[in-house]
Structure formats: structure tokens, C-alpha cells
Amino acid sequence: MEKIKDIEILELGSPEEKSSPWSSTILVLKLTSSNGNVGFGEAPTTLMTLPVKESLREVARIFNGRNYFDIEKNNREYYKNAFYISKSIEETAALSAFEIASWDLIGKDLGTPVYNLLGGQFNENIKAYANGWYSDCVEPDDFVKKAKALVNKGYKAFKFDPFGNNYDKLSKKGLDQAVAIVSNMRESLGDDVDLLIEYHGRFAPKYAIMAGQALDPFNPLFMEEPVHPELENGVYEFKKYVNTPVALGERLLNKEDFARFISSGLVDIIQPDITNSKGILEAKKIAAIADSFGTPVAFHNAFGPVQTAATLNVDYTIPNFLIQECFEESWPQWKKSLFSGYNVENGYLKLSGKPGIGIEVNEKILEESKTDVMEPLDPNEPPWVISGTYK
């Protein structure tokens, strides 16, 4: 019986991260097994790097010395001890990293990719949508110019936030600007390119509806988190008046949350985040719940390469896969080079097929990127926006 022998919790980062301030740091977990194999996991940050790092230490107390094949048992053992886990993203994030790293070890021990252990490959083509690409875009032409550069690389789907610095309320000027941005994107890129509208959960329902009705005519693939996330009833109101499908889920933490949202008709497209909703196996269960309601899955994926690789392993296996978020084009070089094992080609993501989650680390970059800081906090721009757009 192989066990977890050594646990390393690594905070990595660089000041050269520009497009996504929340991702200027990433948390990588490194598990070494008693047979010498190494498995990697990842936990999200988003202005909580240090709290999540401390939570990783808490989860380590449960997982250290355990048989990493016992995914369900180990998760349940932590659940039993963690009184606030149903509402604590710090805890579910930390637990997710251990779960992902355990699967990486299992795949390496068995000499096969994780997706083969989850039912095998159902999807051969994992269509990506670009995110993070529109840093410093304010005017419609700024968005169009940057999007066209990625169209030339094969991308056929773009997510973006056209709402500037409007928050809670949406001014007439802000609405006009959003319409100008989206209409120019649609006119310039054509109807065969998917446009995905990011609200970032920033509006009261009245203003979210105002924006939704104005942007409906441009046929977005979905509108994401249109109202503040705690205002669940506001999503009902939004869906009464707006025709575009609603996507959400990056702030939901477990399959029970998703079951409630899906069964009550609050969401049309779910966006679980494998690094904060308890990992790979929970993601597979969430996708199955969604499939039973005919709901597509588009996993949230905004942090680092371990997250991307783990997410792709689930994407490969689920029949209700829709599209995959991809920040890779916007990453600084250190993050692009940190791991190898998957690539983006002509707008599609592909795994290497190597055992585990399919990636190999560049130890030199890993060592050079170690840090111990909080994410930057700009008083003029929240960390959740794409840099240079909150104007």
C-alpha cells in the first residue's frame, strides 16, 4: 500500500503578471509517495493566497501518511473534521489541491492518464475560449484589435467584461459603452465567433437586467454571474427578462450547491472550478448531476497550469462538455514554462497523454518562482478585473 510520504506547499509568483492580478501568485502542492512518485495539485488565490496556504497546512494534517488511492475516504475524513467546509472556499480550495495531487499519483502509479480512470476519452476536441486577453482594453477598437490577433491564432471564442468601472449600478454612459464594445466585437469578428459576456457578479438585479436586454441582440453564448453572487433570487428575475443563457459556478463549492442551483432553474450552463469545489472526482459527480438535467459544463479555469491539466482530464470524459476557459495566451513566460504536458493549438486544448494529470515540472523555474507575498492590491482597480480595464 503506497502512502503520502512528503508534502510541500509552494507559493509561486512574479511581478511580471499583468493580465490577471488575482493570478500574480499561484499555490502548487507537491506530494511525494512512498514509492518515490510525485503528484501535483493546485489551489486558487484571488486575494486569499496566504489564508489558502494556511488551509493547505491544515489539510496536510489529515492526508499525511494516508493511502492516496482512497480518494473518497480521505476527503470524507477531512469533511468530518472541517466544521465550516460547506461555506469555506479556503478549505475546499486546499482539499481540492490534495485531491488533484492524489489523482496525479494514482495515474503515475498505474502508468495511465487520469482520464482513463474516469471513464475514458469521450471528447477529442476541447474547444477553448480566450480570457485575460483584453488587458488595457477600454474602447471598442481596443477589444477588436486584440481579439483579431487571437482569431489569427485559431481562437473562435472570447470572454470579456465590457462594463468598465460600473459597480452595483450601471450608468447610461456605462451601458452605451458596453453595447458599443459588444456590437463592434460581433460586427468585426462575425457570427461564427462565440462572445461570452462576463459580469463578474457585480450588479444589482435591475442593472444586470438592463445590461442583459441591451446585449441580447448580439447573441452571446452566455452571460456569466450577472448579479451579486449572494442575490440568488435576482438570477430568477434576470432570466425572466433576458434570453441569453446564464452561466455561473466558480463560487459554488460542492455538488450539493450545484444540485440546488441546477434543479431550481437558476443556471443554464455550470462553471465549476476544480481547484475550489473539492477536486476531480467531485467535478465528475457535478457534471453527472448537470447531465441528468441536460445542463452543459464549462469549467472555470483562471489560475495556473496544474489547474488546466486537471480540468482537461475531466473535460475529456464528460458528454455534456461545452467549452473550456483558457488564460494561457495571457500568461507571463514563467507560468507558461512552469509545466509542460498540454498545449493550445488552433483554439483547442490537448493533453500529452502522459500518466497522471499529464504534466511535468520545470524544477529550475519552480525554484526561481518561489515567493511568500500577498497579491498586489490596487486602490483604483479590484483584483478580479483584467488589468487596465476598470476605467
Residue 215, domain member (yes or no): yes
- Start-to-end CA distance of the chain, whole Å, equals 56
Q: Which three cell numbers stand for residue 388?
A: 487596465
Residue 378, domain member (yes or no): no
Please indicate, yes or no, whether residues 298 and 329 belong to a single structural domain of this protein: yes
Q: Are the CB atoms for 218 and 182 separated by under 8 Å?
A: yes
| Cα-based angle 187, 223, 248 (whole degrees, multiple of 5) | 150
Question: In this predicted structure, what is the pLDDT of residue 106?
Answer: 98
Please indicate, yes or no, whether residues 68 and 124 belong to a single structural domain of this protein: no
Residue 363, domain member (yes or no): no
3-state secondary structure (DSSP) of residue 180 = helix
Please indicate, yes or no, whether residues 156 and 229 belong to a single structural domain of this protein: yes
Encode the chain (391 residues) as per-residue pLDDT tens digits. 899 999 999 999 987 777 777 788 999 999 999 999 999 999 999 889 999 999 999 999 999 999 999 999 999 999 999 999 999 999 999 999 999 999 999 999 999 999 999 999 999 999 999 999 999 999 999 999 999 999 999 999 999 999 999 999 999 999 999 999 999 999 999 999 999 999 999 999 999 999 999 999 999 999 999 999 999 999 999 999 999 999 999 999 999 999 999 999 999 999 999 999 999 999 999 999 999 999 999 999 999 999 999 999 999 999 999 999 999 999 999 999 999 999 999 999 999 999 999 999 999 999 999 999 888 888 899 989 999 999 9
Please indicate, yes or no, whether residues 220 and 96 belong to a single structural domain of this protein: no
CATH code for the domain in which residue 72 is found: 3.30.390.10
**Domain count for the chain:** 2
Main-chain dihedrals φ then ψ at residue 267, nearest 5 degrees = -140, 145
Residue 300 among the catalytic residues:
yes
Please indicate, yes or no, whether residues 203 and 289 belong to a single structural domain of this protein: yes
Which residue range(s) make up the domain with 201?
116-357
DSSP annotation of 311 reads: H
Cα–Cα distance measured from residue 18 to residue 290, given in angstroms and rounded to the nearest whole number: 35
Q: Are the CB atoms for 317 and 120 separated by under 8 Å?
A: yes
- Say which of 200, 251, 284, 350 is annotated catalytic: 200
Rounded to two decimals, the pTM is 0.97
- Say which of 300, 320, 328, 358 is annotated catalytic: 300
Please indicate, yes or no, whether residues 133 and 93 belong to a single structural domain of this protein: no
Please indicate, yes or no, whether residues 129 and 271 belong to a single structural domain of this protein: yes
Select from 113, 139, 166 the last residue of a domain. Answer: 113
Please indicate, yes or no, whether residues 176 and 65 belong to a single structural domain of this protein: no
**Helix residue ranges, H only, 190-328:** 205-215, 232-241, 255-263, 280-292, 305-315
Residue 386, domain member (yes or no): no
